[in-house]
Structures are given as C-alpha cells and as structure tokens.
Amino acid sequence: MSKTVGSRAIDALAAPVTRSPFRRVASWLYRKISRQRAGITHLWFPPEQARAITAPSPVADLFYGHSGRPINKWTHYLDLYERYFSRFRNTPVRMLEIGVFEGGSLELWRNYFGPKALIYGIDIDPACASKVSEPNQVRIGSQTDPAFLASVVEEMGGVDLILDDGSHKGSHIITSFRTLFPLLSDGGLYAIEDMHDDYSEWPGTRRNQSLSFVKRLIDDMHGTFTGLPAQESTAVGGLHMFDSIVFIEKKIDQRTANTIVPHSVAI
C-alpha cells in the first residue's frame, strides 16, 4: 500500500460508502421530497424517438427492427455491443446472458451472432422457461447460486461471452463474477449492465458495491506493479467502464514484460 497522501486520498475515494440507516432514509426522503431522486421514467422514449438519438450500428438495426419478444436495453449500449461483440459474430461463440425477462434479448443475440452460436439465458423467474425458443436455451436458477451457474457452464461446454443483465444488485453481480469469470475462456469477455444501480438511494440497498468491486479488479490488474495479492482475479486483461456498463476482458497471456527494440540498450 502506498504511503503517499495522494494515494491515500484515492484509496479513501474507492472505499465503500457506509452511512447509517438513518442517514440513508433521510437522504432518500430528501430527494423524494425535493424531486431530485435519480429515476429512469423521464429517460424512457418510444422506440422511434430513441432511435433518432442512437448511434447507428448493425446491433441497433437489429434492435429497432426487432419484432419478436420484448427486449429492454439502454440505447447507448447498442453501439458498445457492436464495438465489443462484433468479433464473435458468425462464430461458434458460447454466450450466457443472466436475466431473460421476456426472452427478446436472446432472440436479438441469435439474430446478431448467427446460427453457429450457442446461446443460453438464465433467470430466477420460472415463467422465463416458456419465453425462449430453440435453439436458444434457458435454465431457471439464481445468479447467486455458484453450483447452478457452474452446472450451466458445464452443460454449455464452456463460455466465451457473459452478459450480466440480472438483478443488478452488487452482491449478486459479485457472486456471479467470482463464479463465472474463472470459467470464462481465455480472451473471453464479461459485460455487466446497469451499474448505475450502485448509486441507488432506496432504503435497504447498499451503495458502491459493484463499483468498488470494479476498482478492486483494476488494482488486481496492476498487481505486477504493486506487489499486492489479488483481491478478486489475476486474469483481467482489460476493463472498459462506460456509463452504467463495464466490459471486462480475460487475459490470453498472463505474463507482463517490458522491452526496448532494437536490441541495443539494456535497462
């Protein structure tokens, strides 16, 4: 741990925010009364208006042209999916989405990735079992159940792409990641949606869990330089945080090296 003042200040910023239940309820009430509580109702647009403010992409075309089961996505994710998911298109990618809802997103992924893809969804709601059509698959269980998650990945024969669009609760996100990231193939991708829920003011929710978790992953990624033991994983190769969504890449090669070319100078 660095002893510098600047570093301590950053550590303090990254530490979980803990407030007494009284302060949390008071804060929530204050925001409710003053109508400043962050909400999403005013951010909902009919699809034709949403499309006008969405960056064009093949995923966006499929999303807005979708006529099957309902899909619920934040519009700025569409362009990001294109950036991060396009390398899996028309490959035998093994994808797992946490959170099926009405089943429409699995249909979107089928249309996007193509017939070679293996696409599974999991959901805690048994009603989702009838909302997915073959060749897509759904399994019913909780993202907080490591044995269930591992059994689904075993059935899939491995997994290359994971999208967590489940409960959005910090502790759930963390349990799923701790179980599934080690099972993800090298070079695979793990995305977590709706991280803005980490700022929830609702009584009974806990703030700054999943974003603190992301900070720990960043620390672990630099473990070669800090010498500190990994808190979560030594296998994170890259981590890309956007508004509400994070894309985490699993390393292909675990080694870190530095060099100078041509081979004429030695440090």
Ligand X SMILES: C[S@@+](CC[C@H](N)C(=O)[O-])C[C@H]1O[C@@H](n2cnc3c(N)ncnc32)[C@H](O)[C@@H]1O
- The catalytic site residues sit at 168
Identity of the residue, 26 or 127, whose beta carbon is nearer to ligand X in the bound complex: 127
Kindly identify the residues of this chain, within the stretch 115-134, that bind ligand X according to CB under 6 A. Answer: 122-125
| Site membership for ligand X, residue 224 (CB under 6 A) | no
164 binds ligand X, rule: CB under 6 A: no
d(CA 240, CA 260): 28
Contact residue for ligand X among 54, 75, 136, 143 (CB under 6 A): 143
Choose which of 54, 75, 136, 167 interacts with ligand X (CB under 6 A): 167
What are the C-alpha distances in Å from 220 to residues 32, 92, 225, 247?
Answer: 38, 31, 10, 16
24 Cβ partners below 8 Å, 6+ apart?
201, 203
Helix axes 76-85, 104-113, angle to 10 degrees: 40
Q: Contacting ligand X (CB under 6 A), which of 172, 207, 215, 250?
A: 172
170: contact with ligand X by CB under 6 A:
no
Residue 73 binding ligand X, by CB under 6 A: yes
Task: Estimate the crossing angle of helix 210-221 against helix 170-180, to 10 degrees.
Answer: 40
The Cα 205–Cα 27 span in angstroms is: 13
**Binding span for ligand X by CB under 6 A among 50-58, 68-76, 213-221, 232-240:** 68-76
144 near ligand X, rule: CB under 6 A: yes
